[in-house]
Amino acid sequence: MKRFILALLLLVLTAVPVLGMEASESAQPATVSATLEIEKVTRQDITERTSEVKDKLEGYLEQKEIGQLSWHNFLQHSIRQAVDKGVSTNTIVLVLLFPLVAGMIAAARHLLGLTGFGIFVPAMLSVAFVAIGIKAGVVMLVIIFVGAALGRSLTKKLKMQYLPRMALMMWLVSIVVLGVLLGAVNINLGSLSAVSIFPIMILMLLTENFIEVQTGKSRHEAIQVMIQTMVMAIVGALILRTSFVQKWALLNPEIFLLSVAFLNIYVGKYTGLRVMEMWKYRKLIK
């Protein structure tokens, strides 16, 4: 019996290094794959100064001749001068497109009747989705909100002041996000592993808005507000990522900004029924 146990131990000790080498060899392709995925996401991120989108946008500027300085192309001259001195075209495009996203959110609320966390939160969430990727951004947002809901349930039992309780919830959400970032590498989700601190902070700071809505409304209403906010943010992210819109805003900034201003004025002057109100009261309208 002792000889059998010694032989079994010897076999195990001999097999462990071999298994370890095989595990290392099998893990190496997965690690390389995850690294390549992270690099791919970073190159396609318009919020990064060194992304491939930057080179594409600079190519758009080189394709168009703007002529002499005039009242209708003074912004184009200023943009080219800024780019020549080192200002990133990605930053310029995002600044130009941000008012359009805000205007689309305002139109969605006043013309369609969608609700959400104001206008600033969906607009910033759109930028975060552009940086992370829409699919990964939605996954991360849902995980954060689930963590916030669980944190609210746990901290609700503690008799604490509002700010310390929110700080404790942020601690719980940070633990959840850290677990996601560490675990994403092992399941080859490079888009989550490539997330920078800027979009993560945006998503985490939305936790307070979600909790405030839950406090004043039911959980069902809070989820509806979150979903509609997410829909508006996804539409805004699609606008920010569309090459045609980026090119038009960059090459025709004067016309683009005036168009956005007229859109906001029209939405602000509208006093009729919203689309969702028409659907809700369709029987009375008939």
Does residue 137 lie in a domain region?
yes
Position 179 scores a pLDDT of 83
Please give the pLDDT value at position 265: 94
The mean per-residue pLDDT over the stretch 255-282 comes to 86
What pLDDT is stored for residue 135 in this prediction? 82
Mean pLDDT across 100-119: 87
pLDDT digits (tens, 9 = 90+) for 32-82: 444 444 445 445 455 555 555 666 777 777 777 777 888 778 888 898 888
Residue 32 located in a structural domain: no
Nearest to 210 by CA among 102, 117, 108, 106: 117
pLDDT reading at 94 higher than 90? no
- pLDDT at residue 28, rounded to an integer: 45
Q: Is the pLDDT of residue 257 over 90?
A: yes
The pLDDT mean for the chain works out to 75
More confident residue, 279 or 20: 279
pLDDT digits (tens, 9 = 90+) for 57-68: 777 777 777 778
Q: Is residue 27 part of a domain?
A: no
Domain residues for the domain of 105 are: 55-285
In a domain, 275, yes or no: yes
Give per-residue pLDDT as tens, 202-212. Answer: 777 777 777 77
Please indicate whether residue 250 or residue 217 has the higher confidence score (pLDDT).
Answer: 250
| pLDDT for position 142 | 83
The per-residue pLDDT for 23 is: 38
pLDDT of res. 13: 40
The residue among 195 and 17 whose pLDDT is bigger is 195
Give pLDDT, residue 261: 94
Report the predicted TM-score, pTM, of the whole model to 2 decimal places.
Answer: 0.72
Of residues 266 and 279, the one with the higher pLDDT is 266
How many structural domains is the chain composed of?
A: 1
Residue 224's pLDDT is 82
